[in-house]
Structures are given as structure tokens and as C-alpha cells.
């Protein structure tokens, strides 16, 4: 396919503002900058952030009129003359968080904290459409041998890779993951592959616990019926886990109570409205290490290699694979807890 084969219009999922989503016709995009890449989108994952954008009032800011979708993969159909390292015909996953490269955070090597951060699918057009345009710097090669719904998980997996690197797990250590949504399940998969002796999952929803079991969690605790902290300690001979992950964004107190003396607490989930009561004495006296982890730097290639290696099987976490026209119903399933991970198949029927 070349520029002459790109249609004039396409069906896209557009955020209209005030909680409104429309599946509508939009003009197909074209390259504007010399380093732009035109991508024929294959698949796009739906994130909890997308659900928050569509809340009233919104739980996450976004630009009205934008094409949604920030977890996408596709085939390069055109590469601009300055699109270094990207060639037509390659499959690429897109790092949708774009940094400026010039602010103080970028210059000190922390582009994930860019002062002018923008994100495709949130503040500029993303991947919930047949075609998308991205800068070459955001495009990362991914094997065509991967099923497209798995390749679309490169973006969320990259964020989790960043967290796992901070946790510095040693083979034989135990892990407790609080929350078995898509992110919690990705942590489960990576810690299992990294040699954890046991991975304990704390989750109130049966559908998510079932996915965790199929992804080889050693213990799945139903926190709707038992105290999660007590159950984690019982599963670790009373000591607590070596590493505890809060994949929810409101479980700091529980994480501190479930970790062993000298252990590590990794905070990934984000909830701007959550407030946790913490006794600082416990952190000091027990020499706990508490890490916040956000997006990550230089983690996309690592995530792609992990998927290509086959060391993790992420298929059990994908509960819905649907065409873009079915996105509203899939979002409803996410809201009601009837979905784990939704992937929109932009090539459905082909």
C-alpha cells in the first residue's frame, strides 16, 4: 500500500467531550512533518484511562474531538524522508507518550516527566481508527509473528517493565500484587517469568481472579470475603511478601502492611482522589523501600523483545476482541466488571 491506496475517510472512535464517544467517519490522516510515519492500524487496546476520560465529570483530561486509543500496533505504510529507523512494511508498536526533548526533565534523561508531555489518543489523534500518524521516534519494531492483539499490549507492558526493573526482584523472592486488572496481570506475568517463588494476587472480582489463575498465580485471594493483608501474610508464613505492588492506586496502607521487614513496595496504580493513612514509623522502623513508577524511559524495545521471546503468555487476560463498532458495548463491559482486557481489532474480518 502507498499513499494512493489510503482512503479519503475512515471510521474512528472520537471523544466528543462531556463523556460522549462517537463512532464516526473522519478524514484519513496524512504525514505533515518529514519524520512522520503513516501507520495502518491493526489493533488497539482499551485502557482504564480511556474509561476515565469518558466519565462525567472526567477522571482524566483529554482533548474533545480527538481520536482515542493509545495502545496500538500497525504496519508502516509511509515513512517520511527523516523517519530514521522506520521503513515501509514494518510492524510497529507506538509509544504514545510524546516528550519535547528540550525541557529540564528531558535534558536530565527523564522524558517520562517531560514538562510538555502530550499523548496520542488523549490530547492528539491516536489509534482507534484505520490509520494513524506518529513521529518516527515513537515507533518501535515488533515481530509480525505475534498475534495483533498481543502486539497491541506492547505499550502497557512497557510501563510494567519499568516498574519491575525498579523492584529488582531476585529469583526465589515472593510477590503480592494488589489488583488483578490488566496492569496487575502484566505484573504477575513478568514477575513469574523473572523467577518469583510465588506470586500472590489480591482481587475482589471473580473474572479477574480466574484470569490470574490461568496466568499461573500461586495464590488468588478474594478480598471481598477475606482480609487481603492477613491472607498475604498467611501465604508467606507470616512474614509478608518480599515485593508488594499496588496496581490499584489506593492501596498504599495495605501494601505497607503486607510487605516483609526490609521489603519493597511498588506503587503503580494512580487515583488522584485517593488518600491513604500511613504511619511513617512503620516505613522507618521496618526499613521499607517505597517506589513510585510512571510510564518509564527506554522500555519499549524491552517490552517488544519480551513478547517476541514467548516467555510470557498474555492471551488469558484478553477477554474481548471486537471491531471498533462494538467499542461502546465493550466499554460498558469494562465499567460493569464483565471485561478484563479489551482489544479493538481494526482488521476484523480480514
- pLDDT tens sequence across 215-237: 999 999 999 999 999 999 999 99
**Triad 169, 49, 68: Cα angle to 5°:** 125
- Active-site positions read 49, 52
pLDDT > 90? residue 277:
no
User: Mean of the pLDDT values across residues 289-313?
Assistant: 95
pLDDT > 80? residue 1:
no
**Rama region for 18: left / alpha / beta (φ>0; ψ in -120 to 50; rest):** left
Q: What pLDDT score was predicted for residue 86?
A: 96
Nearest to 175 by CA among 206, 163, 162, 301: 163
Q: What is the DSSP string of 198-234?
A: EEEEE-S-HHHHHHHHHTT-SEEE-TTTS-HHHHHHH
Confidence band (pLDDT; 50, 70, 90) for 22? very high
Spatial CB neighbours of 49, under 8 Å, sequence gap ≥ 6:
60, 70, 122
- Extract the runs of DSSP E, i.e. beta strands, from 143-271: 174-178, 198-202, 219-221, 241-246, 259-267
Beta bridge partners of 265: 244, 290
Task: Give the span between the Cα atoms of 327 and 48, in whole angstroms.
Answer: 14
Q: What pLDDT score was predicted for residue 131?
A: 98
pLDDT tens string 233-268 = 999 999 999 999 999 999 999 999 999 999 999 999
Determine what percent of the chain is predicted with pLDDT higher than 90.
92
Q: What pLDDT score was predicted for residue 107?
A: 95
Grid cell for residue 57:
465529570
pLDDT > 70? residue 4:
no
Confidence band (pLDDT; 50, 70, 90) for 276? confident
Q: What pLDDT score was predicted for residue 350?
A: 72
Fill in the DSSP letter of residue 131: E
User: Mean of the pLDDT values across residues 307-327?
Assistant: 97
User: Mean of the pLDDT values across residues 196-200?
Assistant: 98
Structural contact between residues 80 and 34, judged by C-beta atoms closer than 8 angstroms: yes
Grid cell for residue 40:
495502518
Least confident of 2-11, 38-47, 54-63, 335-344: 2-11
pLDDT > 70? residue 2:
no
> Quick count: other Cβ atoms within 10 Å of Cβ 222?
14
pLDDT > 80? residue 3:
no
Structural contact between residues 167 and 109, judged by C-beta atoms closer than 8 angstroms: no
pLDDT tens string 114-152 = 999 999 999 999 999 999 999 999 999 999 999 999 999
Q: What pLDDT score was predicted for residue 275?
A: 83
pLDDT > 80? residue 24:
yes
pLDDT > 70? residue 334:
yes
Q: What pLDDT score was predicted for residue 31?
A: 96
pLDDT > 70? residue 192:
yes
pLDDT > 90? residue 271:
no
Q: What pLDDT score was predicted for residue 245?
A: 98
User: Mean of the pLDDT values across residues 179-191?
Assistant: 98
User: pTM of the entire structure?
Assistant: 0.95
Amino acid at each position: 500500500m502507498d499513499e494512493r491506496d489510503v482512503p479519503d475517510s475512515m471510521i474512528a472512535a472520537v471523544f466528543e467531550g462531556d463523556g460522549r464517544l462517537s463512532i464516526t467517519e473522519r478524514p484519513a490522516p496524512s504525514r505533515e512533518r518529514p519524520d512522520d510515519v503513516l501507520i495502518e492500524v491493526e489493533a488497539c487496546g482499551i485502557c482504564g484511562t480511556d474509561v476515565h476520560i469518558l466519565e462525567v465529570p472526567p477522571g482524566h483530561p483529554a482533548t474533545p474531538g480527538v481520536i482515542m486509543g493509545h495502545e496500538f500496533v500497525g504496519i508502516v505504510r509511509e515513512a517520511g524522508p527523516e523517519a530514521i529507523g522506520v521503513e515501509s512494511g514494518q510492524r510497529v508498536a507506538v509509544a504514545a507518550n510524546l516528550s519535547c526533548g528540550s525541557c529540564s526533565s528531558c535534558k536530565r534523561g527523564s522524558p517520562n516527566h517531560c514538562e510538555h508531555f502530550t499523548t496520542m489518543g488523549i490530547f492528539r489523534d491516536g489509534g482507534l481508527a484505520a490509520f494513524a500518524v506518529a513521529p518516527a521516534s515513537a515507533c518501535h519494531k515488533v515481530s509480525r509473528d505475534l498475534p495483533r492483539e498481543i502486539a497491541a499490549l506492547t505499550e502497557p507492558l512497557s510501563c510494567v517493565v519499568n516498574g519491575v526493573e525498579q523492584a529488582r526482584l531476585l529469583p526465589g523472592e515472593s510477590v503480592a500484587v494488589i489488583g488483578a486488572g490488566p496492569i496487575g496481570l502484566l505484573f504477575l506475568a513478568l514477575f513469574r517469568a523473572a523467577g518469583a517463588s510465588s506470586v500472590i494476587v489480591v482481587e475482589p472480582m471473580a473474572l479477574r481472579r480466574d484470569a490470574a489463575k490461568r496466568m499461573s498465580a500461586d495464590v488468588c485471594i478474594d478480598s471481598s470475603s477475606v482480609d487481603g493483608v492477613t491472607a498475604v501474610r498467611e501465604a508467606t508464613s507470616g512474614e509478608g511478601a518480599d515485593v508488594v505492588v499496588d496496581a490499584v492506586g489506593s492501596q498504599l496502607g495495605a501494601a505497607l502492611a503486607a510487605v516483609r521487614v526490609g521489603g519493597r513496595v511498588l506503587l503503580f496504580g494512580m487515583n488522584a482522589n485517593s488518600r491513604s493513612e500511613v504511619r511513617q514509623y512503620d516505613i522507618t522502623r521496618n526499613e521499607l523501600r517505597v517506589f513510585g513508577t510512571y510510564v518509564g524511559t527506554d522500555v519499549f524495545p524491552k517490552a517488544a523483545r519480551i513478547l517476541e521471546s514467548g516467555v510470557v503468555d498474555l492471551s488469558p487476560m484478553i477477554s474481548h476482541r471486537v471491531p471498533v463498532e462494538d467499542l461502546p458495548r465493550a466499554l460498558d463491559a469494562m465499567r460493569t466488571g464483565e471485561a478484563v482486557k479489551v482489544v479493538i481489532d481494526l482488521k476484523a474480518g480480514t
